[in-house]
Amino acid sequence: MAVDILIVDDSAAIRKILQRVLLQAEVPLGKVHEAGDGVEALAKLSEEKVGLILSDINMPNMDGLELLGKLKSTDTLKDVPVVMITTEGGQAKVLEAVNLGAAGYVRKPFTAEQIKEKLVGII
Amino acid sequence: MRFSIAQDDLVERITLATKEVFSMMLGGEAVPGPPRTEDGGVGPTEGVVALVGLTGPLVGTGSVCCSPELACRLAGQMLMTEYHAVDNDVLDAVGEVANMIIGNLKTTIEDQFGAMWLSVPTVVYGRNFTTRSMGRHNWTVVPFTCDGMEMQVQMFLTEANDLTKLMRPGLTVLQKG
């Protein structure tokens, strides 16, 4: 069954790459929505339902960890799996994301295989 | 406690981070050349320069500099599209390359010194400009050859407490020449 996805990253290049990688990874893609930061992501989620969110951490206006916290404290969004895809590879950031409820964590740079492997158990 | 990284160590970290980004995201190879140190003013006077600030126990700036031609090539390899001129996609791609290289470097520094934070990348494109950081410090410059063209990864890092040596840590000024 196709899954609608929201990709949150301030880099349009990374948003495009992730879409391509999801196709390469044979993820059953439905609609793919994009947002440039956490604020845009929340606005998009007030209009669209998605089954998976891929989010960067280091973004302007609202970063990925603040977004994750808000998603997990919102009844209608708390069950949507969120995978962090970020240059933030330090153990403290990974732990913070996991404690906030992230379903997975992928460090940039990434390969299509790494994304596929991470998503297999989630969708 | 003093926080510092020897230049050889920094060069090795820059080299590993850059090679990893090229092999995983760009499907290519970045071949390092002999590193050097530059004082104050850094970088080319034209082309594409992506700057990322770092703060924490150490403060500083990292940058990736390349020609417009190489910037178009890198964006093309990242996005599987051909670019003939520098546009927003190209600037965005070079900014992301810098973000990944400096971000990788940051992770290795964090393992040793504690939590660090990155700024959002800033990308400059033009001709006849000068890049200068405020304060007295040396930049470590590592040149790479990619597809026969040169790219430079540059970084300065200094201890955060060493503020007397810096007017404004991490502040980089671009001047039109």
Structure ipTM: 0.85
| Inter-residue contact B128 to A43 (CB < 8 Å) | no
pLDDT for position A61: 94
Question: Residues of B with CB below 8 A from A11's CB?
Answer: 92, 95-96, 99
Nearest-angstrom CA–CA distance, B136 and A49: 53
Selection from A98, A15, A8 nearest residue A45 by Cα: A8
Q: Is there a contact between B104 and A87 if contact means CB atoms under 8 Å apart?
A: yes
pLDDT for position A14: 93
Sheet architecture: strand order including B172-176: B41-42, B129-133, B172-176
On whether residue B144 sits in a domain, the answer given is: yes
Q: Is there a contact between A59 and B88 if contact means CB atoms under 8 Å apart?
A: no
CATH code: domain of residue B94: 3.40.1550.10
Selection from B15, B18, B51 nearest residue B35 by Cα: B15
Nearest chain B residue to A19 by CA distance is: B79
On whether residue B175 sits in a domain, the answer given is: no
Query: How many residues would you count in chain A?
Result: 123
In this predicted structure, the answer to whether residue B115 has a pLDDT above a threshold of 60 is yes
Nearest-angstrom CA–CA distance, B60 and B170: 5
Q: Could you list the residue range(s) of the whole structural domain that residue B27 is in?
A: 7-43+57-161
pLDDT digit string, tens, across residues B121-165: 999 999 988 877 776 678 899 999 998 999 999 998 888 876 545
On whether residue B172 sits in a domain, the answer given is: no
From the list B24, B115, B116, which residue is nearest A109 (CB)? B24
Q: Average pLDDT for residues B73-86, to the nearest whole number?
A: 94
Q: Average pLDDT for residues B1-14, to the nearest whole number?
A: 84
Q: Average pLDDT for residues B91-120, to the nearest whole number?
A: 92
Confidence (pTM): 0.88
Tokens of A113: 């295989």
How close does chain A come to B125, measured CA to CA in Å? Answer: 17
Q: Is there a contact between B100 and A108 if contact means CB atoms under 8 Å apart?
A: yes
State chain A's mean pLDDT as an integer: 93
CB atoms within 10 A of CB B101: 29
On whether residue B170 sits in a domain, the answer given is: no
SS3 letters for chain B?
A: CCCCCCHHHHHHHHHHHHHHHHHHHCCCCCEECCCEEEECEECCCCEEEEEEEEECCEEEEEEEEECHHHHHHHHHHHHCCCCCCCCHHHHHHHHHHHHHHHHHHHHHHHHHHCCCEECCCEEEEECCEEEEECCCCEEEEEEEEECCEEEEEEEEEEECCCHHHCCCCCCEEEEEC
Q: Is there a contact between A87 and B120 if contact means CB atoms under 8 Å apart?
A: no
On whether residue B166 sits in a domain, the answer given is: no
Q: Is there a contact between B79 and A17 if contact means CB atoms under 8 Å apart?
A: yes
pLDDT for position A111: 87
Nearest-angstrom CA–CA distance, B76 and A23: 18
pLDDT for position B177: 47
pLDDT for position B131: 77
Q: Is there a contact between A58 and B99 if contact means CB atoms under 8 Å apart?
A: yes
pLDDT digit string, tens, across residues A3-57: 999 999 999 999 999 998 888 888 888 999 999 999 999 999 999 999 999 999 9
pLDDT for position B4: 76
Kindly indicate the confidence band of residue A123, based on its pLDDT and cuts at 50, 70 and 90.
confident
CB atoms within 10 A of CB B80: 11
On whether residue B176 sits in a domain, the answer given is: no
* Contacts (Cβ under 8 Å, ≥6 apart) of B3: B57, B58, B113, B159, B160
Selection from B46, B31, B50, B74 nearest residue B154 by Cα: B50
pLDDT for position B169: 47
Kindly indicate the confidence band of residue B176, based on its pLDDT and cuts at 50, 70 and 90.
low
pLDDT digit string, tens, across residues B28-68: 899 999 999 987 666 677 899 999 999 999 999 999 999 99
User: How many distinct structural domains can be found in chain B?
Assistant: 1
Which one of B77, B100, B102 makes the best mutation probe of the A interface by having the most chain A beta carbons within 10 Å?
Answer: B100
Question: Residues of B with CB below 8 A from A59's CB?
Answer: 120
pLDDT for position B164: 46
Apex CA A43: angle with CA A37 and CA A45, to 5°?
Answer: 100
CB atoms within 10 A of CB A86: 27
The three-state secondary structure class of A116 is: helix
Terminal alpha carbon distance of chain A: 9
* Contacts (Cβ under 8 Å, ≥6 apart) of B135: B158, B165, B166, B167, B168, B169
From the list A11, A89, A92, which residue is nearest B96 (CB)? A11
State chain B's mean pLDDT as an integer: 87
On whether residue B129 sits in a domain, the answer given is: yes
Q: Is there a contact between A89 and B95 if contact means CB atoms under 8 Å apart?
A: no
- For residues A78 and B174, the model is more confident at A78
On whether residue B50 sits in a domain, the answer given is: no
Selection from A43, A46, A48, A11 nearest residue A32 by Cα: A48
pLDDT for position B173: 53
